[in-house]
Structure 1
């Protein structure tokens, strides 16, 4: 007899699932030796790397504990978030040149490079912690924005650079959409935390640049990689689909993630173009990427239109849950898709016994590894998208 599935639109379920996911990491992730957080766990919670402190993972932990604190005012969650803010400010920050180092081993800088992607998550973490009432995070919002403004922003293109050397002297020629996507998300959160319109205007500008400068070059899906002049680089990392930040191909999850961000931006600043573009991006990604036999969404497609990576990633599925929950306000069929996607995740990705999501499955939904959370995973994607679903279904009658 099949077990009955939960009501995936239920506020009680979504809140509890967020907390169950966070509780896989809390408090075992707190590093009492070096500070910050341990960021590598096997399925059963065994630590698999005590030292690696990637900027993104450290910031994402601040985010998930701040979200948990907002949902359940619990001193333990708040203290965990404050613990991460302290580490970022004291150890991950470059006190000589400004900005944040990409990676530490313990407290020693192992990769001093400065990346816009990492700073996006610092901004997201600081803004979310500020929303949770953590006062030490508030100055980090303006400070991180100023670093991004001074070194990464290019007004002419309306987009951010990707990577700069630690002393800001050497700019990489690589340009990418991924960092800009997460900066759009972080800017919206900074606006919600502060009410300062400059963050909302920046989020809008990034979205417009990606949708009207980048997307027309590649058709109905977002391409990842660009030359210095922001024309498409079709050969960068050719065939390398497993690159953490710069995978090759059309990454279905990023077109889905952009559809979500456009709908969130629409909430903050109603207009006339974002909703149809969000629907188009989402529908294109689902049409081309959905595995109709085994469930889930494939990872990437070649420019020629054929799938080159059939694997299923936790974050792609989580983003599809968030996007479909927002689309459900306009389209009843999206509600059915939301439920189907969540049922798939509940069956294959969610560790219902111990909490947390598995990272990666093959096309037949089998795990490759017993590493549940390598750096910088932290389950930020399930947490943020279940939070979006929670707010979406509290604002629509479709869930009733």
Structure 2
């Protein structure tokens, strides 16, 4: 008998179990008792492969997943582990002279002093969910981060977030990207739910409408990754480099799906008809163009012409499909999106979830084979699947 046939991927206890299986892979081995913060690098069986790298995004994502554990009434160590990370964020990532947060450290030493919108978005996300979980000190971090992003990153002329500054905020990059704006939208939604302050939801609404509307209209309906300083598409930036962690080349189907999710998350608080229609359009376009009908899973990147240029399967893309399809299914009340949900979760259960050691494999080939024994390097932390399961649980509560 195939055990998978008995699984109910919509069962809240099953979803909760997935989150705590992830936490149990990382805890307590990820707690760096010597330098503070978290250890980020692990092989498949949990063996440490990198104990020095402290990445702003990784630190923030660990805070996030442990805060989720606390929100879901997990063991007391969830709250302690989240607070442990929040302290490191403030004591070492934060620039006490110029404010803002350093992008990368080696133990406690800064090795990348840049101030990046992407990293600040995740720090805002982490501190906001920590505030919801009652982690001490989180409220002050949320307030400081929003102040920083308003002062330095938000470009009121264009209505989007700029990408990057140097350490003392005297020189900014001309690069503009949708990825940081997408995660700022996610962080702002979470900050609104943590505080009830409408400034967060109003900005999230503004970003979602602009990116999935005006920006996408420039590029045929899907959201392109890279832009010039005037927010015109930059078709040459990182050309054919689909493996850049934060600035991959191409139309990334996973990001179309992620925006689909964000639009319906926004819809809970500030509903307008275009949100559902645009959410469906982005999701279905990504599925049609990038779902692998032979081996399952969604391809990673498409060319400007819409052809597949990276056939690999990335764990976070699958997690975003799970979240988006669940939100679409609960919003529409139809079976079609639950079919997408079940197909994707079944695929992940078979290929991505490590049933022996826990957590998810990071990257598979087109034929769903792991490339190495690496389970997690900075800044993975399995934030995407943990977050997806949490969002599905929330969506089901709206039925």
Q: Normalised by the size of structure 1, how large is the TM-score?
A: 0.98
Partner residue, 2:361 = 358
Alignment of 1:224-263 (within 5 A): 224-263=225-264
Distance 2:51 2:163 in 1: 28
Partner residue, 2:337 = 334
| Cα-Cα RMSD | 0.8
Residue 179 of structure 2 contacts residue 246 of structure 2 at CA under 8 Å; is this kept in 1? yes
**How far has the Cα of 1:86 moved from its partner?**
0.3
What is the SS of the residue equivalent to 1:250?
coil
Partner residue, 1:196 = 197
Deviations 1:62-95 (A, max 9, x none): 0000001111242111000000000000111000
**How far has the Cα of 1:140 moved from its partner?**
0.6
1:156 is the counterpart of 2:178: no
What is the SS of the residue equivalent to 1:48?
strand
What is the SS of the residue equivalent to 2:8?
coil
Residue 220 of structure 1 contacts residue 284 of structure 1 at CA under 8 Å; is this kept in 2? no
Distance 2:76 2:307 in 1: 50
Partner residue, 2:2 = 2
1:394 is the counterpart of 2:397: yes
Partner residue, 2:179 = 178
Partner residue, 2:285 = 284
Residue 262 of structure 1 contacts residue 274 of structure 1 at CA under 8 Å; is this kept in 2? yes
Distance 1:299 1:286 in 2: 12
Distance 1:369 1:66 in 2: 30
Residue 212 of structure 2 contacts residue 259 of structure 2 at CA under 8 Å; is this kept in 1? no
Distance 1:286 1:4 in 2: 23
What is the SS of the residue equivalent to 2:273?
coil
What is the SS of the residue equivalent to 1:372?
strand
1:134 is the counterpart of 2:135: yes
Deviations 1:246-293 (A, max 9, x none): 111110000000000000000111112111000000000000000011
What is the SS of the residue equivalent to 1:324?
helix
What is the SS of the residue equivalent to 2:105?
strand
What is the SS of the residue equivalent to 1:37?
coil
1:384 is the counterpart of 2:356: no
Partner residue, 2:48 = 47
Deviations 1:112-154 (A, max 9, x none): 0000000001000100001001131111111000000000001
1:166 is the counterpart of 2:167: yes
What is the SS of the residue equivalent to 1:41?
strand
What is the SS of the residue equivalent to 1:15?
helix
Residue 11 of structure 1 contacts residue 394 of structure 1 at CA under 8 Å; is this kept in 2? no
Distance 2:138 2:315 in 1: 29
Deviations 1:5-45 (A, max 9, x none): 41000011001111111111011100011100000100000
**How far has the Cα of 1:3 moved from its partner?**
2.5
Gaps of 5+ in 2: none
1:346 equivalent among 335, 341, 349 = 349
Partner residue, 1:15 = 16
Moved over 4 A (4+): none
Gaps of 5+ in 1: none
Distance 1:364 1:173 in 2: 38
**How far has the Cα of 1:352 moved from its partner?**
1.3
What is the SS of the residue equivalent to 2:63?
helix
Distance 1:154 1:100 in 2: 19
Distance 2:251 2:213 in 1: 18
What is the SS of the residue equivalent to 1:254?
helix
What is the SS of the residue equivalent to 2:221?
coil
Distance 1:4 1:246 in 2: 36
